Amino acid sequence: MKKYLFYLPLLVSLFFTACSKDDQKDIIEPITPGKYADGFFIINEGWFGHENGSVNFYKYGEDTIRTNVFKKENTGKELGVSTEYGSVFNGKLYIVSKQGPFVVADAGSLKETGRITELPANGRAFCGINATTGLITTADGVYPINLSTFAIGTKINGIAGETGAIWANDKYAFVISQANGIYVINSATLAVVKNYAKGAIGFALSKDGSLWAATENSLIEINPQTLTFKEINVPKAPFASWYAWEPGSLTASTSENAIYFVSGSSSWSPTQIYKYVIGDEASLSKPLVTLPENKVFYGSGLRFDPVKKQLIAYTVQSGWGENYKYNSLYFFNASNGEKVKEINFEGFYFPAVAVFQ
């Protein structure tokens, strides 16, 4: 989805000139703690080679983005490099970077409550299992984390190599592996109980209770209780790449029995949102949304807002270099794709994923 070569330091130096702090001024002044429940976070990769990851915040009813809120609440503390994932679990925001610390903050105040300085391998995604246990996927398997002490346990047996998306219910955790598709882990024993050999991105839980993943040319419907899998060949499916892992775009409505994803004629720079009304293949015959000509999705690109029942899309200007500085946050009607509003702001943030409480 992104221009992956941009991450090479040499190319970065060619495409960008030095950017001072004044070039990335925050749109408004810091907000007071305790007001982060009424909106959603955007986890940002950060400007590779220049700045670590960051967290922005959109407060419902406003027409601006509150930027760098983690830094404002935690003076002197940094997130890691290429911060790619966030998840709210039991009132805590868990922030995963590919390199550097795994950070935990209170989701209401954003005050840091704990961190692991370095993971056993480059971080990918996090999922809470119960009050004391979480799982984190990495470039080399899946590790349990004690959420009370932040101690990392032994790598889960049977899963090696690159892992990405993760989702859990009270019985099972589902993990996507680059080499071997979808693994199912017993949430109590942390033992692998099943492997489905396909799957590149995930996960989204649809209104009917089905869990969804995808390959590059099909959708996978999973019964998360009985562990039955059904692959559905569809005319459009999400783009997935393990070259430089990022959260997939697959997201589900909480008001309709439908899932959404980004796709398009160019897998490197997708520009369209598709809506799959479950069971109706014809719903994928045309895109629900097509971005303006000069915009492309970045990071996961898309999430369904369960509070406002809208689609939230994050984009940058198409092209290279300075184009990455120009961000647009879009709000779309999830039923018909009509644009509700658009917020434009500047800064080399590189949005990875929106996180809702």
For residue 81, give the amino acid letter: V
Higher per-residue pLDDT: 79 or 4? 79
Assess whether pLDDT exceeds 50 at residue 237.
Answer: yes
Where does the pLDDT of residue 265 fall: very low under 50, low under 70, confident under 90, or very high at 90 and above?
low
Residues 276-314: tens digit of each pLDDT: 999 999 999 999 999 999 999 999 999 999 999 999 999
Assess whether pLDDT exceeds 80 at residue 12.
Answer: no
CATH, domain range 4-118+198-356: 2.120.10
Asked whether 56 and 44 are in contact (CB, 8 A), the reply is: yes
Rg over alpha carbons for the chain, rounded to the nearest Å, is: 19
* Section 70-75 average pLDDT: 97
Q: Burial level of 25, CB count in 10 A (0-12/13-18/19+)?
A: exposed
Residues 205-236: tens digit of each pLDDT: 999 999 999 998 899 999 999 999 999 988 88
Measured CA to CA, the distance from residue 100 to residue 154 in angstroms comes to 19
Measured CA to CA, the distance from residue 169 to residue 260 in angstroms comes to 21
Residues 28-69: tens digit of each pLDDT: 344 444 689 899 999 999 999 899 999 999 999 999 999 999
Measured CA to CA, the distance from residue 179 to residue 161 in angstroms comes to 7
Residues 123-158: tens digit of each pLDDT: 999 999 999 999 999 999 999 999 999 999 999 999
Measured CA to CA, the distance from residue 103 to residue 126 in angstroms comes to 11
Helices (H), 81-226: none
Where does the pLDDT of residue 268 fall: very low under 50, low under 70, confident under 90, or very high at 90 and above?
low
Instruction: Provide the mean pLDDT of the chain.
Output: 90
CA dihedral 21, 76, 352, 244 (to 10 degrees): 100
> How far are the Cα atoms of 67, 236, 301, 315 from residue 327, in angstroms, in the given order?
12, 26, 12, 6
Asked whether 274 and 288 are in contact (CB, 8 A), the reply is: yes
> What percent of the chain has pLDDT above 90?
82
Where does the pLDDT of residue 242 fall: very low under 50, low under 70, confident under 90, or very high at 90 and above?
confident
Q: Nearest Cα to 351, choosing from 22, 55, 49? A: 55
| CB within 8 Å of 245: residues ≥ 6 apart | 84, 98, 124, 139, 162, 164
Element housing 72 (H / E): helix 69-73
Model confidence, pTM: 0.90
Measured CA to CA, the distance from residue 258 to residue 278 in angstroms comes to 5
For residue 95, give the amino acid letter: I
Q: What is the DSSP letter of 66?
A: B
Where does the pLDDT of residue 20 fall: very low under 50, low under 70, confident under 90, or very high at 90 and above?
very low
